[in-house]
Structure 1
Amino acid sequence: LAADSKAKLCGNIADIVFVIDSSSSIWEPYFKQQLQFVQQMVNTFDVSQKKTRIGAINFSNRVVREFHLKTHDSKERVLSAISEVEYTAGDSTNTNEALMVLRTEYFTERSGDRSDVPNIAILLTDGESTLMADTVNEANLNKETGLSMFAVGIGHNVIQEELTLIASAPKADFMYILENVTELQTEAFTQLISHKACK
């Protein structure tokens, strides 16, 4: 996926992990569109081990550790890895487990996290988690470390209350509900999230 020539590249350094819902409530073509959005987002950052590092988690009834912050050292390799993320179509949405893995395995020194660099997570989901209380608890544990948590809900099954509790404050900057996955892919939305993450 080529970088959009109109996109402004974020020069700030960050450690960013995308947390991607692939439960069966998401139709597979829509899941692929989620991945395209992630690629669009990656294209707005200066990706390398010295600049912005990217990781990815894929979850449904189980958590798939796609790649860690230290795994790929270039934008091209990150984009290629994202294109290979598989749709798992699990019958539950274990967001709590994904957020636990985010905190205990991804944002750690051994996985490539840097203590002097901002940590950012971008959660993409289409509905209510299986265990909402556990999900909110894990989100809070992540945020207590100083992590900035974006929560993006897609479609009509999203529970606004849950997303509000997951997202960092101010909610207007970190929580978004979109009507459909097509809205997710617009350049305007990509640039909006990139701008917020680049602050």
Structure 2
Amino acid sequence: MWMKTLLILCFVAGALCANKCSKKADIAFVIDSSSSIWPPNFDTQVHFLYDVLDAFDISPSKTQIAAVSYSDVIKPDFQFNSYKTKNDVLNAIQNIVFTKGSATRTYEALRYMNNKIFTSKNGARDDVIKIAIVMTDGETNPGSVDYISLEKARKRTLEEAKRARDNGIYVFAIGVGGRVMDEELYGIASEAGAVMKVPTYGEFKTDQLQEMLEKKTCEVGETTTLRPPAQAEQCYKHTADVIFAIDQSDSIGKKNFNIELDFVNDLVQSFNVASDETRIGALVFSTTATRFLELRDGVDKEYVKNTIHSVQWGRGSTFIGKAFKKMREGFSPAKGGRPSLVPQIAVLITDGQAFDHDTAEIETKALKQQGITIFVIGTMEAKKSQMVKYASSEDNVFYVNSPQALRGISDEVSTRMCKAQQS
């Protein structure tokens, strides 16, 4: 898997896949130093950072490095302007002290990064790529330091991560071990492709993982346009017919089904919903498929969101072909569709493989022939090879390990959908 990822990155990054990275950037490392990490594993983490940084051209005119470690205390290790030479930075990395704190105050580490590290006072520059690499072996936990609930602490972590992204910082999230919370990891990262998970700290020793991070970090400046905070609002300038198909089969479960609904409403929020702007339709599917919101009725944002939110979980198997058929019918003028007048977009969300794969292929072919753009979002047991066949292009395929991680890709999906509106 790692080798396949490396080949893709090399293809995308082109000349950046040289042995050294000369990208001009300010890169901040946010390093977990909590007591849940075994001391030898913390040393492995530090050695990994040393090896990764050895690939960069570090100087005040090229790449600058800063670091902060966190547990129950927030420990600034060094700022962008603390050291002028690569050797000094590498020595500073080796001297990072393991605090062994009893809490994991990720939110405070990110707040420190936002308020202190990425400031001109501490050497941050306005005219370079800004990157943060957040490392953790678990989930946010305020411990007994802050008198707040776990839920509120985790919310603060996601808020601080969003603030970083809104300020133009591209955020990577690296999770180690089985205690990492997917929802938090994907909520921190700038996009799903910026999340990296490894089962053990021993994995840090592999050349593949080190190279992947180096190339992906170098790639950011060439292939990623850092989105300004108002990016999603650009969808307000374009019209479309959008129908969502939401999996409600047995395997998704009631809790995850409600997470799907929240995710769909997050996407709806990015559109200007009105009769003469973007119209929204929606259906649920399992053994059968039922449209519960027609395009002709989905012309008021609050009504659309309330209607979606009120849908109840059903039961059955995953018949994706039936869902695509109901979507195709829903795009007709009789149901409020505007074929040939506005872009039409179908978005299917599923947690499994199609029981009627042949039918699904036939229906998606019919949708594409009608000029309808198809997005497929999969989680859990969804099969990537099927998803790619259904979608209009591989760029329109998204996958996350768990429904809880859907929130972390909502901005990326909205942006892709916005581009489809412009076609």
Tell me the TM-score normalised to structure 2 length.
0.45
Could you list the runs of 4 or more consecutive aligned residues of structure 1 that deviate by over 3 angstroms after TM superposition? none
Structure 2 residue 167 is matched with structure 1 residue 135: no
The residue that corresponds to 1:149 in the other structure is: 171
Quick one: which amino acid aligns to residue 186 of structure 1? T
Structure-2 residue corresponding to 1:3: none
Q: CA deviation at 1:187?
A: 1.2
- Given candidates 104, 111, 114, the residue that maps to 1:93 is 104
Write out aligned runs for 1:173-188 (5 A). Answer: 174-188=194-208
User: Could you tell me how far 1:185 is from its partner in structure 2?
Assistant: 2.5
SS at match of 1:148: strand
Give distance in 2, aligned partners of 1:87 and 1:154. 17
Give the deviation of 1:118 after TM superposition. Answer: 0.6
Structure 1 position 8, deviation (Å): 1.2
2:28 aligns with 17
Aligned residue number for residue 104 of structure 1: 115
Q: Give the Cα–Cα distance (whole angstroms) in 2 for the partners of residues 186 and 54 of structure 1.
A: 23
**Normalization by structure 1: what TM-score?**
0.94
Q: CA deviation at 1:176?
A: 1.1
Q: Distance in 1 between matches of 2:177 and 2:33?
A: 14
* Match in the other structure for 2:39: 28
- The one of 92, 102, 105 equivalent to 1:81 is 92
Larger relative contact order (Cα-Cα within 8 Å, sequence gap ≥ 6): 1
Other structure's SS at 2:217 match: helix
Measured in 1, the distance between the counterparts of 2:48 and 2:94 equals 11
AA in 2 matched with 1:68: Q
Q: Which has the larger radius of gyration?
A: 2
Equivalent of 1:43 in 54, 57, 71 = 54
State how far apart, in whole Å, the 1-side matches of 2:197 and 2:135 are. 10
For 1:108, the aligned partner's letter is: T
- What's the counterpart of residue 185 of structure 2? 163
Letter in 1 for 2:176: I
Q: Which amino acid aligns with 1:111?
A: N
SS of residue paired to 2:174: strand
Q: Tell me, what secondary structure is at the counterpart of 1:132? A: helix
Number of equivalences = 192
Deviates more, 1:133-142 or 1:176-185: 176-185
Calculate the aligned-residue CA RMSD, in Å.
1.2
Amino acid at match of 1:166: I
Say yes or no: does 1:197 pair with 2:205.
no
Query: Who is 2:333 aligned against?
Result: none
Identity of aligned residues (%): 38
Q: CA deviation at 1:75?
A: 1.1
